[in-house]
A and B are shown apart, each in its own frame.
Chain A
Amino acid sequence: MSYKFHQFQVVGRGLPTETDEHPKIYRMKLWATNEVRAKSKFWYFLRKLKKVKKSNGQMLAINEIFEKNPTTIKNYGIWLRYQSRTGYHNMYKEYRDTTLNGGIEQMYTEMASRHRVRHHCIQVIKTATIPAKLCKRESTKQFHNSKIKFPLVFKKVRPPTRKLKTTYKASRPNLFV
C-alpha cells in the first residue's frame, strides 16, 4: 500500500550564538509527501512557536516514521485545524485503519470531499490511537462488533485487469451478489 502522506520526525534548533551556546533542540512529528516538504513545514511551525527561522537555524535530523504494526486494525483520532472560506476551525475526526498514514490519508481525502478543504489548508494538531470504548463517532463504533456480519448487497463484476475493460456489454450485468 503506497501512501501519499508520509510521517516524518524532524529535529532542529537555532544556530548557536555568543549569547546562547547551546540552544534548545526542538522535535516535531509531521506529515508531508516528501522530506523536502517536511523540512519546510517544520520551519513554518517552528517560526510560529519560537523566535527562530530557517536562516538562523539548523536541521539536525529528519527520519521517516513507519508503522509498527501494519497488520492490526486501530481506531485513530485526529485533531486538526483547517481553514475554511470564512475562517479557521478545529475539528476532531475518527478513522479505522491499519496504519496511521492510512488514517491521515483518509482524513485528507475526506476533508477535501466533505468540506472542500485542500491539503495545504489543514494542520494536524494531534493524533492518537483510541481504544474502542473511548471512540466518539458512531461510524467507527458500528464496527466494534466481534461478531460482525453483513452481506455485500451490490456486487459489480469487474474484468480482472484494466486491459479487458469494454465500453459496451452484450447483456445487462447481474448485480446480485
Chain B
Amino acid sequence: MPFKRYVEVGRVALVNYGKDYGKLVVIVDVIDQNRALVDAPDMVRGQMNFKRLTLTDIKIEIKRVPNKKTLIAALEAGDVKNKWENSSWGRKLIVQKKRASLNDFDRFKIMLAKIKKAGVVRQELAKLKKETA
C-alpha cells in the first residue's frame, strides 16, 4: 500500500487539535521533520506540528511561501472549498456540525421526519412482501 497523501507545499490539511480545530489550512513550507509553516485565509501564517494536522487529498498549485493574496487566489483556482464540501469527509463534518447545533424544536422536527420516512419505507416493504408471497 504506497502512500498517497504527502506533506508538500500546497497540501491542504485539516487541523485536528488545538485552538484552530476544524479549520482547513494549506502547508506553505516545511520547517523541519515535525513542523510545517501553515497558512489559511483567516489566520496569520504560523507554524504547526504535523501531529495537529490530518492531510487531505486536496492539493493546490503554489510556490513556497506565497503572500496572502496569491494564496487566496490559488485557493479559488483550486476550488478547494467546493471540493471539500462535496467530498464525503467534508460532508460528514458538515452534518456533524449541523447536528451539534440543533435546538429542541429542530430535534422534534427531525423525529417527525424520521417517523414519516420509516412509515413510507415500511409501506413499500409490505407491498413487496405481498407480491412475492
Task: Kindly state whether residue A72 has any CB partner on chain B within 8 Å.
Answer: yes
Selected contact of A143 from candidates B17, B31, B63, CB within 8 Å: B31
Would B50 and A71 count as touching, CB distance under 8 A? no
Selected contact of A158 from candidates B1, B9, B16, CB within 8 Å: B16
Q: A73-B31, A143-B30 are in contact. Are A160 and B9 (CB under 8 A)?
A: no
Task: List, in ascending order, chain B residues with CB within 8 A of A157's CB.
Answer: 16
Which of A156, A176, A177 has the most C-beta atoms of chain B within 10 angstroms of its own C-beta? A177
Distance to closest chain A CB from B12 (angstroms): 14
Task: Kindly state whether residue A168 has any CB partner on chain B within 8 Å.
Answer: no
Is chain A's interface secondary structure helix, strand, loop, or mixed overall?
A: loop
Task: Kindly state whether residue A169 has any CB partner on chain B within 8 Å.
Answer: no
Would B45 and A71 count as touching, CB distance under 8 A? yes
Task: List, in ascending order, chain A residues with CB within 8 A of B65's CB.
Answer: 72-73
On chain A, the number of residues with a Cβ less than 8 Å from chain B's Cβ atoms is 26
Give B16's nearest chain A residue, CB to CB.
Answer: A160
Would A152 and B1 count as touching, CB distance under 8 A? no
Task: List, in ascending order, chain A residues with CB within 8 A of B7's CB.
Answer: 148-152
Interface 0/1 of B13-40, CB less than 8 Å to A: 0001100010000000111100001000
Task: Kindly state whether residue A91 has any CB partner on chain B within 8 Å.
Answer: no
CA distance in complex: A1, B44 (Å): 12
Would A150 and B46 count as touching, CB distance under 8 A? no
Distance to closest chain B CB from A141 (angstroms): 12
Task: Kindly state whether residue B89 has any CB partner on chain A within 8 Å.
Answer: no
Task: Kindly state whether residue B91 has any CB partner on chain A within 8 Å.
Answer: no
Q: A149-B6, A149-B8, A151-B7 are in contact. Are A71 and B16 (CB under 8 A)?
A: no
Would A177 and B5 count as touching, CB distance under 8 A? yes
Would B55 and A177 count as touching, CB distance under 8 A? yes
Task: Kindly state whether residue B51 has any CB partner on chain A within 8 Å.
Answer: yes
Would B46 and A151 count as touching, CB distance under 8 A? no
Distance to closest chain A CB from B13 (angstroms): 10
Would B21 and A177 count as touching, CB distance under 8 A? no
Task: List, in ascending order, chain B residues with CB within 8 A of A13's CB.
Answer: none
Give me the 5 closest cross-chain CB pairs, A-B, nearest first: A151-B3, A149-B8, A71-B45, A149-B6, A96-B32
> Can you report 10 A-B residue pairs in the complex whose CB atoms are below 8 A from each other?
A73-B31, A96-B31, A98-B46, A98-B47, A149-B6, A151-B3, A152-B5, A155-B54, A160-B17, A176-B1
